[in-house]
Structure 1
Amino acid sequence: MTTATAENPNQTENWQPLCTRDDLVAQSGIAACLETPAGLVQLAIFYLPGQTPELYALDHHDPFSGANVIARGIVGDVAGEPVVASPIYKQHFRLRDGQCLEDEDMQLRTWRVVLDGARVMLRH
């Protein structure tokens, strides 16, 4: 078995097509579902064209409100780090690692996500 890379995510079964670039909204998030062996997982996919990286994938579930709303949060940056602010109670989560800036005990799960041509590929 070969190892997947950002250049060729098709080299392993751990990469799954999630959506297309046309489904993404620049400087914003979209919600998506991922089927895993443990069941369906709701994700928030953020697209920041022109930045490195351009794509981020986090849990869609807000641990503070209990609602699936993270994809609808406000994208910005805090101290140069891309973040999303939950639309309900406004906690900020770093896009790169899901860490909540207001509560060090809270962190959203993250996934590796890349563009493969027009396809958004997620590693799980």
Structure 2
Amino acid sequence: MTVLPDEQVGGSETWTPVCRVEQVPRAGGVAALLDGDVQVAVFRTGDGELHGLSNVDPFSGAAVLSRGIVGDVGGVPAVASPIYKQNFDLRTGRCLDDDGVRIEAYPVRVTGDLVHVGVR
């Protein structure tokens, strides 16, 4: 992986390269550690859209969401946690099985062939 320096965009987010696009499997995810302690999961849907969420499952506390099953729930792109199987909206981080739970969603962009994740 080519590592580029972080860059500030509009003063609100720091974009960090995490991997090449082809390293994120279709209908799967990869984990990345940003800024030493921010665990992010980057997902690619079957149709190629990229999304970023916290990698930490809020129900178990384990950093495993990148290993979840990517699909959709009622037309909503989602990942099912590999621990207790709760589904999370890939676009917003909202738990589709418990309205009171949400995980952090991160913006993702592609520059060249590199996937970057934005952190505020």
Instruction: State the aligned residue count.
Output: 110
Query: Residue 72 in 1 paired to residue 67 in 2?
Result: yes
Residues 89-104 of structure 1: pairs in structure 2 closer than 5 A: 89-104=84-99
Residues 1-124 of structure 1: pairs in structure 2 closer than 5 A: 12=9, 14-35=14-35, 39-48=36-45, 50-51=47-48, 54-124=49-119
SS in 1 for 2:94: coil
**One-letter amino acid of the counterpart of residue 34, structure 2:** L
- 8 A contact 2:26–2:44 mirrored in 1: yes
Q: TM-score by structure 2 length?
A: 0.84
Task: Give the distance between the partners of 1:11 and 1:59, measured in 2 at CA.
Answer: 21
Q: TM-score by structure 1 length?
A: 0.81
C-alpha displacement of 1:14: 2.2
Q: 1:11 to 1:67 in 2, by over 3 A?
A: closer
